[in-house]
A and B are shown apart, each in its own frame.
Chain A
Amino acid sequence: MKRLIPLVLCFIFGIVMIATQFSPHPISKRVYEEVVNGALIISPFALVLATVTLIQTHATRILRRSDHWQYSFVVFAGLITMVVIGVPFGPKNTVFEWLYNNVQVPMDATMFSLLAFFIASAAYRAFRARTTEATLLLVTALIVMLGNVPVGNLVWNKLMSWTPWVDQASAAREWILYNPNLSARRGIILGVSLGVISQSVRIILGIERSYLGGGD
């Protein structure tokens, strides 16, 4: 009951999803669509549950007066505002859209843009030519960076004006991206894909059960 039924459900859904992809028959197409739709319906329920957990966590923080407990009120404020406006009036409501455009999107974009700073500091700190491998990493990163901006070609054309080749900075970048870069990525992708397949096979056949957690 506690372990067998989940394993059976997992097996059935796995096999059905594989079989329907090999069959053009309308019935199998219909089954495929229904299952995909069903999965889309199940997933949001997990979020409702998560919200309950989130509320519990922050409520405990407030009750126990743990560190920075005051900020938990901010979480509630944001959550309640969005839900009170969004659930009855829908996401196309003007106030909801205003909140999305002026609160969520700018914060999202700003967090994303932090990467520019972190890339610079990571490069400064970690790009040291200590070993052959590190040197390769560093040199290719520099070549590709210079090939990406017009300054790269400008510098090349100034320094290398005595050779017949122009704009080689961007050409070098292209070659690196298309050749060694692609072969390394292919190697990783092939390995990872084999891992994905073997994992999926184990899951469907019920050999891999870690997702059930421990206990009986």
Chain B
Amino acid sequence: MQVFGIWVAAFLTLCIYSFLYQDNPLYRFAEHLFVGISVGYGIVLSIHEGFIPLAWNPIWASLTGDSLSGLWKLIPIFFGLLFFARLSPRHTWLIRYPIAILIGFGAGIAIPNVLRANIFEQTRGTIEPFSVIHSQTTGTAVEVMPSGEFTVFIIGAVLMVIGVICTLTYFFFSVEHRGPISWLSKVGICFLMVGFGSAFGNTVMGRVTLLIQRVDFLLNTWIGSIF
């Protein structure tokens, strides 16, 4: 069974790589199989890891036991069932109820968390290096940085503030980009490009490693299993 599994996996791997040459029946076969299998997998997981432990078990427990708290779960189930209204064209509008709940829920969760984790945290991260600069220059720092390293550090900190401000300026929409604003936003674009370049370069290694692993599988595990 294990050897058979390797052969199946190798066959499907090659089917998908054949896409690199052009569209062909083998790729179409793998693509459709992949879609079918993944939807099936999704259904099984949402029943076994979602519906049963989260809704069914608590309800069952309150039907057989004393505590009735599990019956609360009937409310979300009711709203979930409203999705089936989609099947009847006259009642389609009913699915707006569960969708509205999910959207309101998502929006409510987002506001404080985004403010905290992204805005406050990122602003602090930009300002903080200057407290190190202050403590280094006034001699209150625990560890004194070597002067060369400190210079690099100052350049980095100043560049960071300039970069953040210029990039943000690029994202000003209700002002026309003329004069100083246009200059700032041009510098911002330069920062963005450097950022994109480095993100691109940094991702290469991870993706190539994934490819190497697949080739390793084909060459060593699969072909290796033949000989």
User: Is there any pair of Cβ atoms, one from A and one from B, under 8 angstroms apart in the complex?
Assistant: yes
Residue ranges of A at the interface with B (Cβ–Cβ < 8 Å): 2-3, 5-7, 9-18, 21-22, 34-35, 37-52, 54, 68, 71-72, 74-83, 86-87, 90-91, 96, 98-107, 109-117, 119, 123, 132-134, 136-145, 148-149, 173, 175-194, 196-197, 199-201, 203-204, 211-213, 215
Q: Which residues of B contact A79 (CB under 8 A)?
A: 36-37, 39-40
Q: Residues of B with Cβ closer than 8 Å to A?
A: 1, 5-6, 8-10, 12-13, 16-17, 19-20, 28-51, 54-55, 72-73, 75-77, 79-81, 83-84, 86-87, 93, 96-115, 118-119, 122-123, 125-126, 152, 156, 159-164, 166-168, 170-171, 188-205, 207-208, 210-211, 213-214, 217
Docked CA distance A28–B176 (Å): 46
- A167, chain B: closest CB distance, angstroms: 16
The count of A-to-B residue pairs whose CB atoms sit within 8 angstroms is 384
From B36, B45, B210, A113 is in contact (CB under 8 Å) with B210
CB-defined A-B contacts under 8 Å, sample of 7: A42-B79, A42-B102, A134-B193, A184-B167, A187-B191, A188-B171, A190-B118
Q: How far, in whole Å, are A200 and B120 apart by their CA atoms in the complex?
A: 18
Q: Which of B19, B96, B197 has the most CB of A within 10 A?
A: B197
The one of B99, B109, B113, B199 in contact with A181, judged by C-beta atoms closer than 8 angstroms, is B199
Q: Beyond A107-B13, A186-B122, list 6 extra A-B contacts (CB 8 Å).
A: A37-B73, A112-B210, A113-B210, A140-B197, A187-B164, A189-B122
Distance between Cα atoms of A94 and B20 in the complex (Å): 33
Contact (A199, B107) CB under 8 Å given A21-B112, A148-B204: yes
| A211-B81 Cα distance, complex, nearest whole Å | 19
CA distance A215 to B50 in the complex (A): 33
Question: Is A78 a contact partner of B104 (Cβ separation < 8 A)?
Answer: no
**Given A41-B55, A49-B86, A144-B198, do A7 and B115 touch, yes or no (CB 8 Å)?**
no
Q: Please, which residue of chain A has its CB at the minimum distance from the CB of B195?
A: A184
